[in-house]
Amino acid sequence: MEIKEKTFGVLSNGKKVKLYTLYAGDLKFSLTNFGATWTSLIVPSGKGIKDDILLGYSDLHGYLNNNPYIGVTVGRFANRIKGASFKLGGKTHNIEANEGHNTLHSGFRGFDKLIWKSDEYVENEGVYVRFELESPEGEGGFPGNLKAVVSYGLTKSNEIICDYSAKTDAPCPVNLTNHAYFNLAGEGKGDILSHSLVLHCSSYVEVDKFNIPTGRLLPVTNTAFDFRSRKPIGIAKKSFKGFDHCYAIDGNPKKIRPCAEVFDSVSGRSVKVFTTQPGVQFYTGTHLNDVAGKQGSVYRKFSGFCLETQHFPDTPNQVNFPQCTATPEKDYNEKAVFSFGW
C-alpha cells in the first residue's frame, strides 16, 4: 500500500491544488482536494489490460469548468430542491436557483468548486485521504455553520470506501455524495449501453418534467425501471432516452446493504455498490455533449454512468421521504463502498 502526493495545479489566487494517488490491491486511485474529486481509477481487465474507468480531465483546468460535475463531491445538498427554497423550523430558506427555478447540487458554488483541507493516512487494510471543509452560515442560502468531513480510501480488497459526515450549529438539510462517471470498458472507449445492471431497488422516485419529485414512490414492476434482475442498460436502444432517476434501495437505511451491480462482458470488469443511504441516483450521462475529456477523449451521451448514493431529491420539501436534517444534537453520517472485480 502506498500514497503519493503532488501538485495538480495552481489557482489564479496562487493556491496550490493537490493530487493524491493511492495504491492498494490491484488498483490505482487518484483524487484531488479541489472539489474532493475522483480523477482516475486504473483497474485490470480479465485479459490483464489496465484501463482508467473514470471519466475526467487531463489537468486541473478541466475541473475548474466542470459543468457535468464529473467525479466531484457534491454538497451541501446533492440533487435538486424545488423552487430553490425549503422551510425549516417555521422559516423559509431561499437558496440559489441554478437550474431554472430550482436548485441543482447546491447552487452556483457548491462543495464541488472549493478547495478542501486534506490529509492522507493508513488504516487497517487501506490507504485513505481525509477531506475537510467548513461552510459558513448563509453560504448558498443554507442555514448554520457546517463542517463536512469526507474520507475516501482504497483497500487491499480492491474496494473504494466512502465515509461522509457533517456537523452543524443549526438545523440544515445535508446530502453528500460523489458524482463519479464510470465506463468499465475504459474512459473514452465507447458507450455504456451494453453494460449489464442490477439495482436492488423495488421502487423509484416519481418526478415531473423538471426532474422534481412528485412525492410518490412508484413500483418498478413491469416498467423500464426494473433492474432487479440483470439486463443491459440500453435494453431498448431504439427508444432509449437514458436514465436520471433516484431509486429507493431495498432494506433498512442506515445499514450497509447492496445497492447496485454493473458488469461489462468485454473487459470482464464489474463493480458492486453498497450503501447506508436510502437512495441511489442512476444517471446515464444523458446530458454529456462533446465534453473534452482525458487524453483527447470526447464524452457524449451514454459515455459513462453514475451511481450516486444519496437521500432522495427535494427531501427538505417532502415530509414523507426519509429525512436528512443535521442538527447540533444529531450529526450527519453515511457510508458507501464500491467493490471492483474482473
Assess whether 96 carries a catalytic annotation. Answer: no
Q: Classify burial at 88, counting beta carbons within 10 Å of its beta carbon; exposed 0-12, middle 13-18, buried 19 or more.
A: middle
The Cα 122–Cα 3 span in angstroms is: 9
Query: Do residues 58 and 94 lie in contact, with contact meaning Cβ atoms separated by under 8 Å?
Result: no
Q: Classify burial at 62, counting beta carbons within 10 Å of its beta carbon; exposed 0-12, middle 13-18, buried 19 or more.
A: middle
105 closest CA partner among 63, 136, 74: 74
Q: How far is CA 335 from CA 98, 153, 233, 255, in A?
A: 28, 12, 25, 9
Assess whether 308 carries a catalytic annotation. Answer: yes
Write the DSSP string, 296-341.
G-EE-TTS-BEEEEESPTTGGG-TTSPP-EEBTTB-EEEEEEEEEE
Given the residues 93, 179, 200, 311, select the one marked as catalytic: 179
Tally Cβ neighbours within 10 Å of residue 73: 28
Structural element, H or E, at residue 61: helix 60-64
Cell matching residue 198: 442490477
Given the residues 159, 261, 308, 334, select the one marked as catalytic: 308
The Cα 39–Cα 36 span in angstroms is: 10
**What is the distance of C-alpha 20 from the center of its chain?**
19
| Catalytically annotated residues | 179, 308
